[in-house]
Structure 1
Amino acid sequence: MFVISNLILAIAKVLQIFIYFEMTCVIVSTILSWITPYHYYPLRQFVDGVSSIIIKPLRRLIPPIGPVDITPMVAILILTFLDIFLVRTLIDLAGVLR
């Protein structure tokens, strides 16, 4: 049973790393969006591409409130929920199976 436990724990940890990386990209993309000279910078294109995984679908659902776009904040809240609920549930499940 420990093999399944280790597999679930590994999946949870990889998912957690992806969630943290996605959160970081959303934050960096938001900060870089305020700096217009770096629009075609390769790092910005990479960060925007990674953060668009969650930002694009949310922008279709959440309209901007005047000049303010709250989509990055909602994305971070969703990613935090996934980290707290899904990842911790998988880690607890792996602990029970041990």
Structure 2
Amino acid sequence: MTGFVIFILDGILGIAYWAIIISAIMSWLIAFNVINTHNRVVYNIHYTLDRITGPILEPFRRLIPTLGGIDISPIFALLIISGMRRFLIPMAANGLYPILG
């Protein structure tokens, strides 16, 4: 049971990690007019990724100012998510094994 819970938590964090990366790359492509949000598919993908990553990035955006118009909050969010996946998930697994088996 514990292995399944850890698997789900790691999967959710992995999806959030890749959603932030794809959202950042897509925002650069939109800013440099490589892709256009007038295309309905591009707009829907961008909107969905923004809805997924917005709640994750918002606390970082409140704390970290933009540097010359560049939002560096995704970098810090990715560092936190990587740390959670590498350090906190194994610690949680060790704590959950005696409880859940």
Under a length normalisation based on structure 1, what TM-score does the superposition of the two structures give? 0.80
Q: What is the match of residue 38 of structure 1?
A: 37
Shift of residue 33, structure 1, vs aligned partner: 0.5
Please list every run of 5 or more consecutive structure 1 residues that lacks an aligned counterpart in the other structure: 1-5
Alignment of 1:1-98 (within 5 A): 6=1, 8-36=2-30, 37-38=36-37, 41-93=43-95
SS across alignment from 2:71: coil
Q: Which has the higher contact order (CA 8 A, sep 6+)?
A: 1
Aligned residues: 92
SS across alignment from 1:66: coil
Q: CA RMSD in A?
A: 2.0
Shift of residue 53, structure 1, vs aligned partner: 2.0
2-structure distance, mates of 1:14, 1:45: 25
Please list every run of 5 or more consecutive structure 2 residues that lacks an aligned counterpart in the other structure: 31-35
Shift of residue 17, structure 1, vs aligned partner: 0.4
